[in-house]
Chain A
Amino acid sequence: MIDFVQNTVDGIMFGSSYALLAIGFTIVFGVMRRLNLAFGATIMLGAYAGTWLHVHHEVNLVVVALTTLACTVLAGIYVERLCFHAVRRDAALASMVSSFVIWMQLEEVAIHLLPERTYAFPSLFIAGSFEIGPLLFRGEQTTMLVLAAVMVGALHLLLQRTRYGLALRAICENPRAADYMGIDTPRVMLCAFALVSLIGGVAGYTILATDEQITPFFGLWATFKGLIAMMLGGMGSLPGAILGGLVLGVVEAHALWYLGNEYKDLSAYVLLFAMLVLRPGGFMGQRILGREELAFRRV
Chain B
Amino acid sequence: MDDYVITVLSNIAMISFIALSAYLLLITGEISFGQQAYFGLSAYAAGAATTMFALPIWAGILIGACVAGFVAMAVGALTLRLSGLYFSISTLAFAEMVRLILLIVQVQVEVDGEMVGPDGANGFHDIRWMFERNISLTEFMLFIYGLLALVLIALLLVERSRLGSVFRMLGSDDLLTEMQGLNTVRYRILAAGMAGAVAGVGGALYAHFTTYVEPQFFNVMLGVHALAYGLIGGLGTAFGPLIGVAIDVGFLEAVRFIQGYRMIVFGGLVAVLLIFMPRGILDEERVHRLKTLFSRWSHARAQGR
Contacts and interface: CB of A to CB of B under 8 A. Distances in A.
Interface of B: 31, 78-79, 81-83, 85-86, 88-90, 92-94, 96-97, 100-101, 103-104, 121, 175, 178, 220, 224, 227-228, 231-232, 260-264, 266-268, 270-271, 274-275, 278-279
A157 interface: no
B275 A86 contact: yes
A75 to B, nearest CB: 13
A295 B97 contact: no
Nearest to A105: B267
Given A88-B278, A269-B97, 19 more contacts: A93-B278, A95-B274, A97-B231, A97-B270, A98-B271, A100-B228, A101-B263, A105-B264, A107-B263, A108-B263, A112-B260, A112-B261, A224-B220, A262-B103, A270-B97, A276-B82, A276-B86, A277-B78, A288-B83
Contacts, number: 117
Nearest to A298: B175
A100 B224 contact: yes
A97 B227 contact: yes
B173 to A, nearest CB: 10
Contact of A288 (B86, B260, B268): B86
A294 interface: yes
A8 to B, nearest CB: 23
A291 B175 contact: yes
Interface of A: 29, 35, 37, 82-83, 86-88, 91, 93-98, 100-102, 104-105, 107-109, 112, 220, 224, 227-228, 231, 235, 262-263, 265-266, 269-270, 272-273, 276-277, 280, 288, 291, 294-295, 298
Contacts of A235: 85-86
A262 B104 contact: yes
A276 B89 contact: yes
Given A94-B231, A265-B100, A87 B275 contact: yes
Nearest to A29: B85
B278 A91 contact: yes
A83 B272 CA distance: 9
B263 A269 contact: no
A297 B181 CA distance: 21
A273 B93 contact: yes
B279 to A, nearest CB: 7
B138 to A, nearest CB: 32
Given A97-B227, A273-B97, A291-B175, A227 B79 contact: no
Given A93-B31, A272-B93, A277 B79 contact: yes
Report the 10 A-B pairs with minimum CB-CB distance, sorted nearest first.
A105-B267, A91-B278, A94-B278, A273-B93, A101-B267, A108-B263, A276-B90, A266-B100, A272-B93, A104-B263
A227 B271 contact: no
Contacts of B279: 91, 94
A266 B102 CA distance: 11
B93 A94 contact: no
B104 to A, nearest CB: 6
A102 B97 contact: no
Contact of B266 (A101, A228, A288): A101
A83 B267 CA distance: 11
Given A86-B275, A108-B264, A227-B89, A280 B270 contact: no
B85 A35 contact: yes
B101 A109 contact: no
6 contacts: A97-B231, A97-B232, A101-B271, A231-B89, A277-B90, A280-B81
A42 to B, nearest CB: 13
Nearest to A79: B271
Given A93-B31, A262-B103, A277-B90, A101 B228 contact: yes
Contacts of A87: 274-275, 278
B274 A273 contact: no
Contact of A104 (B83, B220, B267, B278): B267
Nearest to B121: A262
Contacts of B81: 280, 288
A108 B252 CA distance: 14
Contacts of B263: 101, 104-105, 107-108
Contacts of B85: 29, 35, 235
Nearest to B228: A97
Given A91-B279, A291-B175, A265 B96 contact: yes
Contacts of B178: 291
A180 to B, nearest CB: 25
Contact of A262 (B82, B93, B96, B100): B100
A160 B99 CA distance: 42
A266 B100 CA distance: 6
Nearest to B261: A108
Contacts of B268: 105
